[in-house]
Structure 1
């Protein structure tokens, strides 16, 4: 059964509602509740426009602080193996980065922001810089780790399975499940330029992973766990990872040396491209003294002006005394 068919079976009694005014006053125990753009709830940032841009920045910032706190203690230590560093990263950093990711409905830019930080951490673990030009897929292959896109997909499907198991004793759906699969009557979404909803993401995830009998599998917790963890299984670090990293570093050094040599040859062959030297007058206009730099001349000029002003004032006083 498809997700749309399941929505029809569970959302027969569709409700009609009007959008509530955001500026309406809410009073609880004689205290007015302030209307804000976003607020924190259980460690997650919730925005009134239902976007995760602020939440992603907060998650990346906290994960970056946690990662930097272990930089000298763990990541830069050569006596610690790469496999041990990856385990520490998955236990201490990844949960901070992906906290609350089960309910995220991200844009492509936000997913790219998370993936950039994710790959940057692995480059630090391997001791590889951006100048070494090692591809992301090669880094994931060397470390034996899944991509961040697969991890986000797994987290959404895990929460989706938890939702579908929310049933009462009388085989009735609980409120979160009814809200997920219900919709407003006579509500139509524009055909183009509309942000995907969370259940749209789930539909896409189920299609990509080719999960057709999801309604039966989600009821069995162990079976659903095996199904969603198939594509995120991590393997051990490749035995030749150190050799591959060394080869890339040596080739990067050679490439940078060739680029510097090529730049030098271009400058030698094109003398017109050399910067022109501007002749600056470094002679003091008051006393005629010449200096090597304009800065020295300016300093001397200020002193020279002060001396001339003091001598002129002394001469005027002497003339007044004679008169």
Structure 2
């Protein structure tokens, strides 16, 4: 390869950095001001902290700029257009978007009103006769970011992409009898799992969101060993016979791996770098409203991970990279596939077949009945669930009763 070609990415990064510095100097703008304290995660009232500014994130030819005011945003975009044109570069207007974070009104008592959002004025920024788009969500480096600062959109994107990656190999690998289960698991860990957990180092999922990831993960493992939900094999049994860790443990390892890597980011004077400051940063003059549930932050998730991983002194342990890597990797240590996996799978299959045959004999000669035929309607023509006693219209009670009152369904052949 020509040495000049190897230098092109470096030269572009240098020129891009020069352009951004010129823009910030000429526009005279400020980024988002954050505080970095001396006690890392724990911030008291008397803590001494250092204010620092976060203006832009740059990777290759992508850039994200952050501001506290709309005026600074307007000046930055217009100045960027002016400077890039001066140095014979062109900013793509189609790929340029603006987004404001979702905010709610706070009353005089400090209570948050989630029914009233703060409406920001629309920015009318026009560049080369094209208006800059205002959006509620965008994708940066493969990660979905939304103005409500929740993980729902990213979760859906990860599950969709991982499902596509898994289904592409369904007939090629997963259904092949001549491919061993050990080989299938290695391919799954190499081709599907990285797609599912891309960016998980910075996630702070809720319990419900973790369950959705676990559901997909276990569904994939069942397909690899040849089982399905009808065979009623417990999740723990699937993990034991395949020797795989739970997906929650993999996400925990990923968070701790990134946390340990960032914690040792210091400069020549042993001072924290910008990345380390950002990861331990907070807003010193802001207070969370007390009338709404406190949403967990990434730092809270890390504290939980450290406790569950039995890490006593992370400040000292993260300094030694090898020992830290060995400690967090024990969480997701994979084991060999059970040598008796085929007889175990066949046992679950046989049990399922026996159960289905018994159920078929029990119901033989009896036509299944409808839910509305068994339940009694009240004066308002509503039906009550036999289990939870909730009232439903006849059109909407069938699915609820089948999941909520299973014993009643079996008894009445529903």
> What TM-score range do you get, normalising by the shorter chain?
0.7 to 0.9
- TM, length-normalised to structure 1: 0.76
Please tell me whether residue 6 in structure 1 is matched to residue 40 in structure 2: yes
Does structure 1 conserve the Cα–Cα contact (< 8 Å) formed by 2:38 and 2:48?
Answer: no
Report the counterpart of residue 230 of structure 1 in structure 2. 330
Distance, in Å, in 1 between the alignment partners of 2:134 and 2:51 is 26
Please tell me whether residue 252 in structure 1 is matched to residue 286 in structure 2: no
Report the counterpart of residue 219 of structure 2 in structure 1. 120
Does structure 2 conserve the Cα–Cα contact (< 8 Å) formed by 1:102 and 1:156?
Answer: yes
Please tell me whether residue 95 in structure 1 is matched to residue 194 in structure 2: yes
Distance, in Å, in 1 between the alignment partners of 2:70 and 2:298 is 23
One of 183, 189, 192 as aligned partner of 2:282: 183
Q: Any unmatched runs of 5+ in structure 2?
A: 1-36, 54-66, 83-126, 374-414
One of 152, 157, 174 as aligned partner of 1:75: 174
How far has the Cα of 1:24 moved from its partner? 8.0
Distance, in Å, in 1 between the alignment partners of 2:146 and 2:133 is 14
SS at match of 1:46: strand
Report the counterpart of residue 256 of structure 2 in structure 1. 157
More displaced stretch, 145-154 vs 66-75: 66-75
Q: For residues 205 and 23 of structure 1, do their structure 2 counterparts lie closer, same or farther at Cα, with a shift above 3 Å needed?
A: farther
The structure with the greater share of residues assigned to strand is 2
Please tell me whether residue 107 in structure 1 is matched to residue 107 in structure 2: no
One of 201, 207, 231 as aligned partner of 1:132: 231
- TM, length-normalised to structure 2: 0.60
One of 320, 323, 344 as aligned partner of 1:220: 320
Q: For residues 16 and 83 of structure 1, do their structure 2 counterparts lie closer, same or farther at Cα, with a shift above 3 Å needed?
A: closer
How far has the Cα of 1:185 moved from its partner? 2.1
Q: Which of structures 1 and 2 has the bigger CA Rg?
A: 1
One of 296, 312, 320 as aligned partner of 1:196: 296
One of 55, 60, 66 as aligned partner of 2:165: 66
How far has the Cα of 1:189 moved from its partner? 2.9
Distance, in Å, in 2 between the alignment partners of 1:40 and 1:13 is 33
How far has the Cα of 1:187 moved from its partner? 2.8
Does structure 2 conserve the Cα–Cα contact (< 8 Å) formed by 1:7 and 1:181?
Answer: yes
Aligned residues between the structures: 266
The CA deviation string for residues 12-66 of structure 1, in whole angstroms up to 9 with x for no partner, is 325599x946798533316364332111111111122221211111111111111
Distance, in Å, in 2 between the alignment partners of 1:267 and 1:181 is 64
Does structure 2 conserve the Cα–Cα contact (< 8 Å) formed by 1:151 and 1:232?
Answer: yes
Q: For residues 22 and 57 of structure 1, do their structure 2 counterparts lie closer, same or farther at Cα, with a shift above 3 Å needed?
A: farther
SS at match of 1:229: helix
How far has the Cα of 1:8 moved from its partner? 5.7
Does structure 1 conserve the Cα–Cα contact (< 8 Å) formed by 2:232 and 2:352?
Answer: yes
The CA deviation string for residues 240-266 of structure 1, in whole angstroms up to 9 with x for no partner, is 111111011011001011111112265
Does structure 2 conserve the Cα–Cα contact (< 8 Å) formed by 1:15 and 1:183?
Answer: no
One of 305, 310, 335 as aligned partner of 1:205: 305
Structure with higher RCO (Cα < 8 A, 6+ apart) = 1
How far has the Cα of 1:236 moved from its partner? 0.6
